[in-house]
Structure 1
Amino acid sequence: MRRRELIGLLASAAACGSVPALAQAPRKPVVALVLTGISRAETTGPDPAFAPARAFVHELRDLGWIDGQTISIERLSLEGNPQRAPELLADLVARKVDVIVLGGARWLHDAALNATRTIPLITLFQDDPVAAGLIASFARPGGNLTGVAQTTGPEFFRKRLQLLKEIAPRVSRVAFLGPRGVLEQDRQVEALPGVAIVPVPVDVVEQLGAAFDRIRQERADGMMVAGSAITYAYYQRIVAFADENRLPTIHSGRESVLVGGLLSYGTSVPWVFGRMARLTDRVLKGAKPSDLPAERAATFELIINTKTAKMLGLEVPPTMLALADEAI
């Protein structure tokens, strides 16, 4: 074949889009991971410093979604400023990202639903999403939002209260520190005989100092910490307050006990973010959030710090030690 004819054929093939080298690369799906209380720097890279973000990125990678290759994961954080949420979410909606994955703050869920009723939303629920009106049911959420519930409702908090009372029998006035939405929904928690619950709301980090002041003013002699974006991001500060004030405290996660918290009972937040990654995978493969069952945390860990118990003058019952998943 003559050179001129060959060039003509190649030009014709290119015009028809049949030359692989000239074909347009397939568009990578875009997933936005929007967190609330952590710095964005802790969410970046292939191995983010923030454990939940790391679990999410790694689980997606294991499912074949590699950031920068088969998917684009935008890591975003409001860094404790709810006022930024509407603008940030409006930008994501305008750019038509494929999925928005949300941290656990209720105000962030509300802002996301105000921003879009079509883009799939995957989230961590800190309380009962059905009771909160976020989804129609666990089996069929019914809208564009689904996710993983971190607790099982009031009975979960009662169990935590029982564990605190078991390790610290003298507590009678327990401060319940957590997001306003969780505290309001879990007023149903039936207090144990001789134990009063003092709700202490904290939705943003700026409220943490005032929350500590209120706990002192209320003369609480124990504390229960609800799992939330703020309490997780600032767990070291909460542990330091509890230990400095010699408050027997049941925390929401293992991380708190590792740095001196008395005990924790709850599900692993990184595990929850791994489950959220699996839901994201299903949405990217065509599932609709309205038909994608929301999940409940199925396993809970009891972690005890025996050194902190000794520091507080508490004796851990042998039966409790036997039930613990880990004693430090």
Structure 2
Amino acid sequence: MARREFIGLLGGGLAWPLAARAQQLPAIGFLHSGSPEPNAKRVAGLRKGLADAGFVEGKNVAIEFRWAEGKDDRLPELASDLVRQRVAVIATLSSTAAAVAAKAATSTIPIYFLVADPPDELGLVSSLNRPGGNATGITTLAVEVAAKRLSLLRELAPKAISIALLVKPSHPSAKPVTASLQAAARTLGVELDVLEASTDREIEEAYLALRPGDGLVVATDPFFFIRRAQLVALSARHGVPTIYDSREFGEAGGLMSYGPNHVRLWQQAGTYIGRILKGEKPADLPVTQAAIFEMVINLKAAKALGVAVPDKLIALADEVIE
């Protein structure tokens, strides 16, 4: 992997020359709530987007990574550190908390975000069409898409009396997503139980609180994303039909996911960050909305759970994992 190769170089005699060279390059400050390993494919997408825009890490641009490792309270200091480093632009992709922290840390350094929440309501921009400040980016419509996930899960578990929502309460979209799903649940004639988790122990306790036959919607949050193997394993162990927000969960053995392809969105972000590095201003770049959402179904997981996937859903799926 590129990261291992980079670490290997730093361990040898080339460390100082590379470090000296990196100081002379324009730097992208990368700020994220999560950790590097679970996001490796997405970072590769970012690097591809930058390359498409003419920027290659170590050649004509440097990337300063700052990972909070699931501890959002570290983000303000990490953001301030990037400001002190005088990076040319700060990227906060698939991490709303990181975007908010970056915006609080600087009103001058350009910020490019990828958030699930309305950026104008978060105070990141004045409006979608005219951001008006130092930030712009992509929004993935968390509230609207969450209701769609609930309806898809209902099709997989039509006899479920109740469906639970697993949410991290500190996430900016927690309240609007919860309200949206409560309204959607009433329309579908199903009860919605809201389970909150901010630690590994609370995740375990949430699964123990589920009733037999319940379905589960896992909310969007980097905290859950970096724990996708744990969540998939718990759903399998407890026999819970679960829908997630990104394809990586399905690839990890989860039953179903519905949401944007984040690898492609990080690649798209890379091209826009390249435009900012070339001199374009965030204030002049309208916020874009994710337009393509994909459904991934894991039939192996469905069989293990005893879930019969309707032919209609299989036909609509963008990918079916056998």
User: Distance between the aligned counterparts of 1:133 and 1:200, measured in 2?
Assistant: 28
Aligned-partner Cα distance in 1 for 2:99–2:168: 13
1:141 alignment partner, SS class: coil
- Match in the other structure for 2:47: 57
Deviations 1:55-79 (A, max 9, x none): 1112212221011111111122111
Name which of 80, 85, 95 aligns with 1:105: 95
Taking a change above 3 Å as real, the CA distance of residues 108 and 201 of structure 1, as seen in their structure-2 partners, is farther
181-190 vs 246-255, which moves further: 181-190
Aligned-partner Cα distance in 2 for 1:215–1:131: 32
What residue is the counterpart of 2:284 in the other structure?
Answer: 291
Q: Is the 8 A contact 1:167 1:317 kept in 2?
A: yes
Alignment of 1:168-247 (within 5 A): 168-180=157-169, 181-186=172-177, 187-189=179-181, 190=183, 191=185, 192-202=187-197, 207-217=199-209, 219=211, 221-247=214-240
- Give, in angstroms, the shift of residue 227 of structure 1: 2.6
Write the distance in 2 (CA, Å) between the matches of 1:202 and 1:184: 14
Partner of 1:11: none
Please give the secondary structure, in 2, of the residue aligned with 1:170: coil
Please point out which of 102, 105, 108 is paired with 1:118.
108
Contact 1:183 1:199 in 2 (8 A): no
Alignment match, 1:158? 147
The verdict on how the C-alpha distance between 1:134 and 1:179 changes in structure 2, with shifts beyond 3 A counting, is farther
TM-score of the superposed pair, with normalisation by structure 1: 0.83
Decide which moves more: 154-163 or 184-193. Answer: 184-193
Q: 1:202 to 1:173 in 2, by over 3 A?
A: same
Deviation at 1:153, TM superposition (A): 4.3
Q: Say whether residues 1:274 and 2:267 are aligned partners.
A: yes
1:33 matches 2:30: yes
Separation (CA, whole Å) in 2 of partners of 1:37 and 1:104? 9
Aligned length: 293
SS across alignment from 2:155: helix
Structure 1 letter corresponding to 2:157: A
In structure 2, distance between residues paired with 1:103 and 1:153? 14
State the one-letter code of the partner of 1:38.
S
The secondary structure found in structure 1 opposite 2:91 is strand
1:214, distance to aligned residue in structure 2 (A): 2.8
Aligned-pair distance for 1:299? 0.7
Deviation at 1:218, TM superposition (A): 5.0
Question: CA separation in 2, counterparts of 1:217 and 1:314?
Answer: 21
Give the whole-Å Cα distance in 1 for the aligned partners of 2:278 and 2:195.
42
Tell me by how many angstroms 1:27 deviates. 4.6
> Which consecutive aligned stretches of 4+ in structure 1 deviate over 4 angstroms post-superposition?
none
State how far apart, in whole Å, the 2-side matches of 1:270 and 1:72 are: 20
Question: Structure 2: how far apart are the matches of 1:327 and 1:106?
Answer: 30
Matched residue SS, 1:137: coil
- Gaps of at least 5 residues in structure 1 are 1-25, 44-48
> How far 1:84 sits from its partner (Å)?
2.4
TM norm structure 2: 0.84
CA distance in structure 2 between the partners assigned to 1:265 and 1:217 by the alignment: 24
Deviation at 1:296, TM superposition (A): 1.1
Q: Pick one of 64, 75, 84 that aligns with 1:85.
A: 75
Q: Which amino acid aligns with 2:292?
A: T
- The SS at the match of 1:50 is helix
Classify 1:145/1:198 alpha carbon distance in 2 versus 1 (closer, same or farther; 3 Å): farther
Q: Secondary structure at the match of 1:80?
A: coil
Moved more, 57-66 or 106-115: 106-115
Determine the C-alpha separation between the residues in 2 that align with 1:87 and 1:260: 36
Largest Rg, 1 or 2: 1
Query: Equivalents in 1 of 2:30, 2:74: separation in Å?
Result: 15
Larger mean CA deviation between 178-187 and 50-59 belongs to: 178-187
The 1-side partners of 2:104 and 2:245 are apart by 29
8 Å Cα contact 2:196/2:206 also seen in 1: no
Query: How many angstroms apart in 2 are the aligned matches of 1:96 and 1:266?
Result: 34
Unaligned runs of 5+ in 2: 1-22
Per-residue Cα deviation, 1:115-169 (whole angstroms, up to 9, x for no partner): 111101111102222333332221111221211112x343321111111010111
How much identity, in percent, do the aligned residues show?
A: 35
User: Does the Cα contact within 8 Å between 2:49 and 2:269 map onto a contact in 1?
Assistant: no
